[in-house]
Amino acid sequence: MSTIWKLSFTGPSEPLYRAAERLDVVELSNLLSWSIFDEDSEPTGILELLFDSAPDEDSVREATGLKDGYEARVIILPEEDWVALSQRGLPPVLAGRFALYGSHDEPPADTVAVEIEAGPAFGTGHHGTTKGCLIAFDSLLDEGFNPASVLDLGTGTGALAIAAAKVLPKASILASDIDPDSTAETARNAQKNGTPEIEAITAEGFDHVKLVGAKFDLIFANILAEPLVLLAAEIVNALNPGGIAILSGLLVEQEDQVCKAYEDKGVTVEAREPLDGWATLVVRKAP
């Protein structure tokens, strides 16, 4: 029977979340997936990484930045334990009217439920960035915001696009990601959640025939701070008059840099309550 390896790091939570974010952009060829948990004695957390072969602890520390002060532990698990491991500690994520949950669980009643399994694609909802986007979206809906066209830029698992499709049944919704694995995962999740109308495309930024010149009422961009800055002009240009962009994937200390990049394009930017050290910004374009 094949086996998998689990490498776990324990220590202060905020650097662990930063390390987890780096895992979305660095290449660790034998990495299957990762999960992060907050212990009861916050702000301590555990970052768990699963590998299909023995991990090189030094390489992982270098890639994540967890070089010192974090206890590491490696154990070998039977493959059949992966399902239980991926589901353990992952109760439904509640974000306003939305609930993200795995098939092992049941979403609370009277929520807009999105089924997303733990797996290799980023964006299961158990992360301050995805949750922050959903909370901001929920608040906008409460304000009466009713976008007719939505782009989920850097869609990951498609969680944000699916959430939008469930509450905006008449909207046109496009999801894009630079990673074809994420695009495929988004398409599968859209079918599973009864939102097959979502179109998922693989694209780098706005470099796609479906995106060049396209305009949207709402753009989700749950990506990293650097691409958020680099794409500021394109994201603002892709908003219809009166359109809104919800930005995340940036640390609290990167908030001013990202705010300035968008304010320089003539839009207003509102910072929402940070979650686990991650910031969420709401960008509004004038009508």
* Confidence at residue 262, expressed as pLDDT on a 0 to 100 scale: 98
Determine contact, residues 217/244, Cβ cutoff 8 Å. yes
Contact criterion met (CB below 8 Å) for 233 and 264: no
Query: Could you give the strand order of the β-sheet that contains 112-115, starting from the edge strand earlier in sequence?
Result: 93-95, 98-101, 112-115
pLDDT-based confidence at 38, cuts 50/70/90?
Answer: low
Q: Which helix (H) or strand (E) holds 100?
A: strand 98-101
Residue 222, pLDDT > 70, answer: yes
Average pLDDT, the chain: 87
**Which of 246, 41, 44 minimizes the C-alpha distance to 8?**
44
pLDDT over 70 at 90, yes or no: no
- At 210, which amino acid appears? K
Preceding amide of 43 cis, omega within 30: yes
Q: What is the pTM of this model?
A: 0.76
pLDDT value at 273 more than 80: yes
Percent of the chain clearing pLDDT 70 (strictly above): 88
More confident of the two residues 109 and 69: 109
What is the three-class DSSP state of 197? Answer: coil
